[in-house]
Amino acid sequence: MNAAPAGVAGAAGAAGALPLGVLPAGSRAPRPGRTAGSAAGRAYTAGRRLVGEARRRVGVAASPWVVDACLAGGLFALLSAVLRGPMIHHTAVLVPAHLALVVPLAWRRQAPLVVFGCVAGAAFVQWLADVRTPADAALLLALYTVAATRDRGRMLAAFAVLEAGILLATLRWSLHVRPTAMFVSLSAMAVAATVIGANVRGRRERMTFLEDRAVRLERERDQRAQLAVAGERARIAREMHDIVTHNLSVMVALADGAVFAQDASPERAGAAMRQVGVTGRQAITDMRRFLGVLRADEPDALRHPMPGIAQLGALTEQVRAAGLPTRLEIAGEPAAVGGAAQLTVFRLVQEALTNTLKHAPPGARAEVRLSCRPDAVSLTVTDDGAGVVGGDPSGALGHGLPGMRERAAAYGGRLAAGPQPGGGWRVAAELDLTTVEVP
Q: How many residues does the chain have?
A: 439
Cα dist from 294 to 232, 235, 286, 297, whole Å: 10, 12, 13, 9
CA distance 140 to 71: 14
For residues 11 and 189, the answer to whether their CB atoms sit within 8 Å is yes
List pLDDT tens digits, range 299-318.
554 455 678 888 898 888 88
Delineate the domains of the chain, giving CATH numbers in brackets: 5-205 (no CATH), 314-439 (3.30.565.10)
Q: What is the mean pLDDT of the chain?
A: 76
pTM value is: 0.46
In this prediction, residue 228 carries a pLDDT of 84
Q: List the single range of 144-153, 260-269, 286-295, 430-439 with lowest mean pLDDT.
A: 286-295
DSSP letters spanning 237-255:
HHHHHHHHHHHHHHHHHHH
Q: List the single range of 26-40, 100-114, 163-177, 308-322 with lowest mean pLDDT.
A: 26-40
Q: What is the mean pLDDT of residues 60-84?
A: 74
Which of 206, 211, 203 shows the shortest CA–CA distance to 30?
A: 203
In this prediction, residue 369 carries a pLDDT of 93
In this prediction, residue 255 carries a pLDDT of 80
